[in-house]
Amino acid sequence: MKITGFNHLTIRVNDLRQSLPFYLDVLGMKLVHRGRSDVYLEWGEAWICLIETKQRRRQEGTGIDHVAFTIAEENFSEAVSRLKQHGVPFVREPVFRGGGWSVQFTDPDGTVLELFTGTLEKRMKNWR
């Protein structure tokens, strides 16, 4: 697998109205997109999504939803095959969404990881 770097971080929050000022005003992130239940922020070369989870069951809690890593599109199929060969559980089968190919799977502790071929710019074009 030829991973080219960290892609994005999605964090569950209970209330965007309370959480967003911290990320914008305290941490100095830049607001790129605001949806009904999510926001996309830039922070240097990193991008972070905050997703409001009021509808989720209480025991799911807040915190990190998943961690995504950038992978070149030409390496995506090989990586998916490797995951399947190792019996890695998939959360979401490979799908083209948000401007790139995505596959989500879990590590042995249940942490959701993603391989994603897209960029923040491509994702924003798809949200408009």
Give the count of beta carbons closer than 10 Å to the beta carbon of residue 40.
21
Catalytic residue annotation:
114
> Which of the listed ranges 51-55, 93-97, 111-115 does the model predict with the highest average pLDDT?
93-97
Q: What pTM was computed for the model?
A: 0.73
Q: Quick check: 52 and 37 in contact, CB under 8 A?
A: yes
**Residue 115: what pLDDT?**
93
**109 pLDDT exceeds 90?**
no
CA 40 to chain centre: 10
